[in-house]
Structure 1
Amino acid sequence: MAKSPRTKSRVSPARWAAIRLFAMDVDGVLTDGTVEIHSDGTESKQFSILDGMGLVRLHKAGLAVAWISGRPSEATSARAAELKVPHVIQGRTDKLMALQELASQLGLAASQVCYMGDDDIDAPAINWAGIGVAPSGSMPAALKVADLVPRRAAGLGAVREVCEHILASRGP
């Protein structure tokens, strides 16, 4: 059965406290979904410093972070390396299978996973995770199954907002 979108107040602190892995799509979650292709064939993306700091803080708090992207990208690889994201999976459109494989490798149950995505291919992973998140500009299938729709937009602090919920559940 599909979950209905919920505000942050309807995701209990106990559910946030159970999270051990925050996994997310890249384009449309960590970015606004825009990919700029230059004349030499290289691409560029804009990533939020707010989101990056949130992910660094999660790592320092001992939580696992993963990026699962449907398309390979050097810009994604470069940003992940800069932030020391330990689990970067690119070129996988079967997001649910990729997420479940990673959770199994880490010995985690669905209830210990938060997944954030924005498109139809993310919806099964959003629905499977203990807490599923979709940015406000997401496709209807992702929004329909999300537990949380952050106030901030994708690429402009939406990921940081989720990081703050996870960190707040752990106390000072």
Structure 2
Amino acid sequence: MNEQILQKAKNIKLFAMDVDGVLSDGQIIYDAQGVETKAFFVQDGLGLQAVRQAGVVLAIITGRSSAMVERRAKELGIAHVIQGRDDKFVALMDLAAQLGLDLSECAYMGDDLPDLKAVREAGFGISVANGCLQTQAVADYVTQKTGGQGAVREVCELILQAQDKFDDFVKKFQ
């Protein structure tokens, strides 16, 4: 792993991410009653719980509003859920200020143009493997896995490794 990437990940105290295309595969599915559903990758959830237990604050910043997002965030203990925000960079800055953090201590993970500025300006900007080319171009790190298929877990493990907490995470299951 690139030493510069590890150094950025080592300093992270807030990990914020988009939902559609990052925590989910980007599909929006409506049932016969018009209720929106999403599929979330279980391994991403375990990674997020491990990062949270290691002391990193978790946040969701998404342009859409969905009860499914609220439910998943609650299951994972994600304290900060910001929905219906197209200005994701402003939302990230506001949350960082509220938490008393510098942007250098914040990671942001996105996949598309609305995430571009947040990915570029965060201390550790991340795009998923299937993110748009513009977001990938400004990211510090582009995942090997795609959104909704383990990309979040990949980043969680990277943060844990950079902060020397990965072995403790694994030991819980041995």
Interval of TM-score (by shorter of Structure 1 and Structure 2): over 0.9
Q: Which letter maps to 1:16?
A: A
Structure 2 matches for 1:21-170, cutoff 5 A? 21-170=14-163
Q: Deviations over 1:42-99 (max 9, x none)?
A: 1111101110001000111111000001010011111111111100000001000000
Alignment partner of 1:16 is 2:6: no
Q: Distance in 2 between matches of 1:21 and 1:54?
A: 14
Task: Provide runs of 4+ in structure 1 moved above 4 Å.
Answer: none
TM-score by length of 1: 0.92
TM-score by length of 2: 0.91
Q: Contact 2:5–2:140 (CA<8 Å) still a contact in 1?
A: no
Q: Contact 2:129–2:142 (CA<8 Å) still a contact in 1?
A: yes
Alignment identity in percent? 45
Aligned residues: 165
Find the residue that maps to 2:160 and give its secondary structure. Answer: helix
Q: CA deviation at 1:144?
A: 1.4
Q: Distance in 2 between matches of 1:79 and 1:56?
A: 12
Q: Deviations over 1:135-154 (max 9, x none)?
A: 11111221111111111111
Can you give the 5+ residue segments of structure 1 that lack an aligned partner in the other structure? Answer: 1-7
Alpha-carbon RMSD across the aligned residues, in angstroms, is: 1.1
Can you give the 5+ residue segments of structure 2 that lack an aligned partner in the other structure? Answer: 168-174
More helix by share: 2
